[in-house]
Copies of this chain bind each other. A is one copy, B any other.
Amino acid sequence: MSEEITQNSVGVVKPKIIEFKKSLSLDCGQHLSSFKLAYETYGILNKEATNAVLICHALSSDHHAAGYHSLDDKKPGWWDTCIGPGKPFDTNKFYVVCCNNIGGCKGSTGPNTLNEKTNQLYGPDFPIVTVKDWVKSQSYLADALGIKKWACVAGGSLGGMQAIQWAIDYPQRLANALVIAAAPKLSAQNIGFNEVARQAIISDPDFYEGRYYEHDTVPRRGLSLARMLGHITYLSDDSMRAKFGRELREGKLNFGFDVDFQVESYLRHQGQTFVDKFDANTYLLITKVLDYFDPALDYEGDLSRAFENSKCNFLVASFTSDWRFPPERSREIVRALLDSNKEVTYTEIEANQGHDAFLLPIPNYMELLTCYMLQVDKEVNNES
């Protein structure tokens, strides 16, 4: 953690864990009789509890959105670019909350935690959860923190889907939804990629039908493949060309199956390091959370009807080179909001970094978030 970085950082933060001793009924028909959420907060909640911002994480991230866990940390939280003093989610103004969702593997109740009924780790017995379930569990957290209404719920990718679900399920409980690089539901191609990732994990002999903890092993090969594949879909063709081109690692072709091109080396590294940080059962589960997201389904496929009761303002943003959830998918959300007479700001940000752009400090994007959050801050102050 260098001094330069810490100037506008929330600094060293400590994750908290909260246990809810009340039942959470899930979309699948099962329920969790109790559950824990790991979460972090940055900034101070005002007296009226009107300046709270909920940040929702995407596929492979967690509650550690900003700052550092120790002075030795090399990397800050996953959205440190956007959260901190003077940053778009300005912690001098807002009380920022981020939790690891249920089914996660970073401290919240999930496949790698104890099932108190069986006194064993959940493993594959952890129920398939949905964005709706996540949002419900986050509402418990809001209750516990004394937050009746979020000034804003924000997220990119799967995080943006949670912001959408908040606007639909708890219309009274948020003033703004920031939906970034998201989609109203996955396409067949999106589901196809997720299915290849799942099959890679499930077909790994070390998976043991999800009971690999008991066998003291990890489906490394499968999880690593899933991550390599995912990673390609997070980058644009252009950004990969700019980053690697056809550069050879050793300056020449080796006429074998070792690494020839830099891009191969990079992807292998991404896959291998991910395995040490993430749980395969959680990866499986979260790809299903993505596949199942389709808030229009209860409204005969009409997304505008799903939004009918929403009361918040919306910011929808997409990135031109994102081919995982391209601008066209964001425009579907915008169209539904307009059809439903909602307030929506839409921006298509010129960026060649692909889907990952939502994590990066792209000037136009930072400016957009900053401006929007200044407005949110004004609303907060008017209310107080």
Task: Check A246/B186 contact, CB under 8 A, given A225-B203, A257-B284, A257-B288.
Answer: yes
Chain B residues positioned under 8 Å from A187 (CB to CB): 237, 240-241, 246
| A residues 149-206 touching B (CB-CB < 8 Å) | 185-189, 191-193, 195-196, 198-200, 202-205
CB <8 Å contact, B261 and A291: yes
- Nearest residue (CB) in B for A185 is B246
User: Does A361 make an interface contact (CB < 8 A)?
Assistant: no
Q: How far is the CA of A104 from the CA of B49 in the complex (A)?
A: 68
Q: How far is the CA of A128 from the CA of B260 in the complex (A)?
A: 13
- Measured between C-beta atoms, what is the minimum distance from A292 to chain B in Å? 6
Chain B residues positioned under 8 Å from A188 (CB to CB): 237, 240-241, 243-246, 261, 263
Contact with B along A282-302 (1 / 0, CB 8 A): 001000100110100000000
Of the candidates B29, B195, B221, B294, which one forms a contact with A263 in the assembled complex, judged by CB atoms under 8 Å apart?
B195
Q: How far is the CA of A28 from the CA of B225 in the complex (A)?
A: 28
User: Does A264 make an interface contact (CB < 8 A)?
Assistant: yes
Among listed A17-25, A84-92, A139-147, A228-236, interface-contacting one: A228-236
Of the candidates B28, B29, B228, B261, which one forms a contact with A196 in the assembled complex, judged by CB atoms under 8 Å apart?
B228
Chain B residues positioned under 8 Å from A58 (CB to CB): none
- Measured between C-beta atoms, what is the minimum distance from A74 to chain B in Å? 25
- Nearest residue (CB) in B for A227 is B196
CB <8 Å contact, B127 and A240: no
- Nearest residue (CB) in B for A245 is B188
CB <8 Å contact, B243 and A199: no
Task: Check A199/B186 contact, CB under 8 A, given A28-B255, A191-B263, A255-B127.
Answer: no
5 A-B pairs, CB-CB below 8 angstroms?
A28-B255, A188-B245, A191-B263, A195-B228, A257-B288
Top 4 nearest A-B pairs (CB, nearest first) are A188-B240, A28-B255, A203-B221, A188-B244
Q: A28-B255, A189-B232, A203-B225 are in contact. List 16 more A-B contacts (CB 8 A).
A: A188-B243, A189-B240, A191-B246, A191-B264, A192-B228, A195-B261, A195-B268, A196-B232, A199-B224, A199-B228, A199-B268, A199-B271, A200-B200, A200-B225, A257-B284, A260-B292
